[in-house]
Amino acid sequence: MNFKAALYKRLEKYARIDTQSDENSQTFPSTKKQLVLLKLLAAELKAIGAKRVKLDKYGYVTAEIPATVKGKKPVVGFLAHVDTSPAASGLGVKPQVHKAWKGGDIVISRKHGLVLNTKNCPELAGCRGEDIVTASGDTLLGADDKAGLAIIMTVAEYLLKHKEIPHGALRIGFTPDEEVGQGVKFFDVKAFGADVAYTVDGDVAGAVEEENFNADGVKIAVEGKSVHPGTAKNAMANAARIAADIVAGWPEHLLPETTENREGFIMFTDISGGTEKAEVSGIAREHDLKKLKAMERQLEAIVAAKRLKYPLARIDLTFKEQYRNMKEVIVKRPEIMGKLMAAVKQAGLTPHVKPVRGGTDGARLSFMGLPTPNVFTGGYNYHGRYEWVSLDGMNKSAEVLINLAREWTK
């Protein structure tokens, strides 16, 4: 099966629509522009003949592909998100195809000096001979997760046209705000009606994911004491300096830039304030919940030491649960990953099960009662101008979804 032309047509169309989410917004979706693509997707689903197409008040798009076999079969869901990361601009995306890449440099932009190769992205090495899509150097591409949208839509259209392919009822779900951690905040799992689901939001071809970080938010609030610097000795508590001292006290080997695979970290993302008040925001991430709590105790010990060092200041440290490792749920139903592994092998690939060094809508959905591992889309370097996706990898992902639909009838 070769869906590459259809996949690129959809990817290009979706990528050109700016759907960047906003982590500081108080609305849902966090940006109205996401609704432009969500409305388009709902219209496309109706046009290809999908049933029960709905765009609800939160912006969730859901639809059904009716079963082609008789008898009660598990209902399978396929989901992807429409928003792109706030980390890089998604306005004016201009996708470009580097056909049949033979190795060597892929020039994303001569103007900006952006070159993609196996030295700065070793994962690219497995895509020799494939059609690679990048943006033009001014924006991210948005394959995270518009590649997933294109894959699901292409598969939906194909299955609706080919009713000879055996499958049970399939549910489609498109969500906003995944990149800011709010993607399924109001998602109605019961109304969605799936027994099991798969997010199509992974990276290189063959990679599948059943586990993700346990995640907590970190807040450090420092209340200092401001006095004239000329009489500050033993009287001033400079909140900004104290906050910086706490951040500097965190071990370098427990940072995101010094860890990989299942290694956890605490990252301080924002520092703001002045002499009287300062605040530090961050994130704590670990695949093992016990290790996450141990890291948090380590930070508490650092803060406790700073309270003794700066007795004139008040320092408050709080942690807020964000999401938990979905493997805890998925492992209870081994057939979910078993059928995914079989589907990947049927597409001619060797499955590579790896941990997500981040979060996924699937994590929240799993704890909401819908076990949801993650399937590759064929791309990498997400959230920046070096982002790329392989059309051949996208094609393999589409094959995997069709194979999955078959597998769940067995």
Residues carrying an active site annotation: 83, 178
Residue with tokens 């629509």: 17
Question: DSSP alpha helices (H): ranges in 202-350?
Answer: 239-249, 289-309, 327-330, 334-346
Report the distance separating Cα 8 and Cα 185, nearest Å. Answer: 30
Residue with tokens 């993607």: 183
Burial class, 37, CB count within 10 angstroms (exposed 0-12 / middle 13-18 / buried 19+): buried
Q: Which residues lie closer than 8 Å to 393 by C-beta, 6 or more apart?
A: 127, 130, 204, 205, 376, 377, 378, 379
Please, are residues 364 and 325 in contact by the beta-carbon 8 Å criterion? no
Q: State the Cα angle at 192 between 198 and 184, rounded to 5°.
A: 65
Sheet holding 379-380, edge to edge: 96-98, 132-134, 388-390, 379-380
Question: DSSP alpha helices (H): ranges in 86-225?
Answer: 143-161, 189-192
Q: Where are the beta strands (DSSP E) in 358-407?
A: 374-375, 379-380, 388-390
Which of these, 360, 285, 292, lies nearest to 326 by C-alpha position? 360
User: Before 144, cis peptide (omega within 30)?
Assistant: no
